[in-house]
Structure 1
């Protein structure tokens, strides 16, 4: 209950504080990336497997036809999009998702349906959590796009190395999360006081 109230209160406060930033980013996208919407909408899997629409600022060209994994330096990511991703400004619209209850500030990142469907057995317990803007797996793989840029097959590497490791981390979070722990994760995200992942190897 405390987390639920905290999420909505802080999401509302965040939207009030950051609305000038949201407006400026929206205008920049409209000017620099006119061929497409300002907001990117995508179906994600939320708590208990419920599908919801997640909102982000658009960072890619329209109809790029790419995969579900993003790699640093991709042509489909616009120059402005690179900046927005670097400073996580593309995720500010997710405050709305938190406000309406689809997401939390801290929790597993919401997956697209295909990845969530791959969860089996105990791993499905992570779906009992409300997905988050940040979380322990998100912090570990804060440099995920750079990692994927170093491998020959980003999609395979994501599916066989990064995704299973995220599931492991999220399951550990499910069993051990606390409100104070969530606050520490939020501060670590804001002040980037964490160590990004090194390059694990394919089995």
Structure 2
């Protein structure tokens, strides 16, 4: 096995300091790092039993940190009071919020180039209001207070590897021949990540990761056949429902747009799709016929027609895009496709892998009111969606759209 590198070093020359190595993730991560020839210092109250005899693993207490962290390439903080633990609010905050900040300060003082604070998708903004989630969010915010150039928060969904734990432990109750099918269904509903994906991330040159941007790791949902099939059912079900049940609404809106102002009823515009491929996107026209081709936030609100304002507010203007769904150019849920001329947004999305999936009629960023006038913020939210997507998450976005969350792309406040 060829050793991977961290910061230009490889094999036995790479040294990691890990807290929480005796936990489910820590044990498996430690096993994979040592298999690559890396040296690991496990910090804790007791040594990880499975690796106590491994010559590549040494054990130290928290009081030994200043000494053992010297010369380390990376500090991984997995120490946590988990959400399935019965503990006081004070204990949650002491371990999940205060400890990361203290460890980061010590790692910085010892000259460790990279500090990674492991967290959970539960701790992301808008997550559950539990002691665990609140304390983890506080920990992420506290880490930002440490002037540490390469300190980052790493957010994970349910983790699996050599075994299942946490909520995924229910799969162990299934007969062996049903376990793979059960996992495919569970992982289609919500995001999961294999510990190999985490190990690969740690093995990369972490100094290239922007410390001001959280990192979310999850398995690629496009590799899950159940998820892809479920998405396709949702897409086709929506498209056929609009065409077969609401054809009369499409006809009425087309007539109103056509007679309300000069120009066609349907507006066709080039948009950037999957893989950066340009396609023609169809919408009911909401602006004057001679409105220039530009991002909506660059267009005067006076360009919007009276009927167009209503269509944009109710999102009815998006309905003709069911044709794009049937052509395989759009999905119902995904990052909203931008114009080819919006080069900054295209570049930011490309950098974060957002262009690897189909764009959508509605999206995670859209229901949070983030439009294309904020390219970096939008691309980050799109990347977060890709990591968090699952059939349940997609249905929540669809529901959020129908109940009116988000304002869509806002026009400029100029006349």
Classify the TM-score, shorter chain.
0.7 to 0.9
Q: In the alignment, does 2:275 pair up with 1:48?
A: yes
One of 161, 175, 190 as aligned partner of 2:387: 175
| Rounded Cα–Cα distance in structure 1 between residues aligned with 2:271 and 2:367 | 20
Q: In the alignment, does 2:348 pair up with 1:119?
A: yes
- Residue 96 of structure 1 corresponds to 323
- Residue 163 of structure 1 corresponds to 375
- Residue 232 of structure 2 corresponds to 4
One of 236, 240, 259 as aligned partner of 1:31: 259
SS in 2 for 1:93: helix
One of 348, 353, 356 as aligned partner of 1:128: 356
Alignment TM-score, normalising by the size of structure 1: 0.79
CA contact (8 A) 2:294 2:339 kept: no
CA contact (8 A) 1:11 1:99 kept: yes
Query: 1:101 Cα deviation (Å)?
Result: 1.0
CA contact (8 A) 1:8 1:101 kept: no
Q: In the alignment, does 2:332 pair up with 1:105?
A: yes
Query: 1:9 Cα deviation (Å)?
Result: 2.8
Query: 1:196 Cα deviation (Å)?
Result: 6.5
| Rounded Cα–Cα distance in structure 2 between residues aligned with 1:106 and 1:120 | 16
Q: Given the superposition, is the C-alpha separation of residues 21 and 71 from structure 1 closer, same or farther in structure 2, using an over 3 Å criterion?
A: farther
Q: Given the superposition, is the C-alpha separation of residues 120 and 25 from structure 1 closer, same or farther in structure 2, using an over 3 Å criterion?
A: closer
| Rounded Cα–Cα distance in structure 2 between residues aligned with 1:164 and 1:140 | 15
Q: Given the superposition, is the C-alpha separation of residues 183 and 59 from structure 1 closer, same or farther in structure 2, using an over 3 Å criterion?
A: same
Query: 1:119 Cα deviation (Å)?
Result: 2.7
- Residue 14 of structure 1 corresponds to 242
Higher strand share: 2
| Rounded Cα–Cα distance in structure 2 between residues aligned with 1:90 and 1:120 | 25
| 1:50-89 alignment, distance < 5 Å | 50-65=277-292, 67-70=294-297, 74-89=301-316
- Residue 148 of structure 1 corresponds to none
Alignment TM-score, normalising by the size of structure 2: 0.40
- Residue 187 of structure 1 corresponds to 399
Higher helix share: 1
Query: 1:50 Cα deviation (Å)?
Result: 1.3
Query: 1:73 Cα deviation (Å)?
Result: 7.0
SS in 2 for 1:75: helix
Q: Deviations over 1:135-178 (max 9, x none)?
A: 11011117x5xxxxxxxxxxxx92xxx22111000001112211
Query: 1:183 Cα deviation (Å)?
Result: 0.8
SS in 2 for 1:62: coil
Which of structures 1 and 2 has the bigger CA Rg? 2
Q: Where in structure 1 are there 5+ consecutive unaligned residues? A: 145-156, 198-203
CA contact (8 A) 1:29 1:80 kept: yes
User: How many matched pairs?
Assistant: 178
Q: Deviations over 1:91-150 (max 9, x none)?
A: 110111112211001000001113354236642x100110001111011117x5xxxxxx
CA contact (8 A) 1:26 1:38 kept: yes
* RMSD of aligned alpha carbons: 2.3
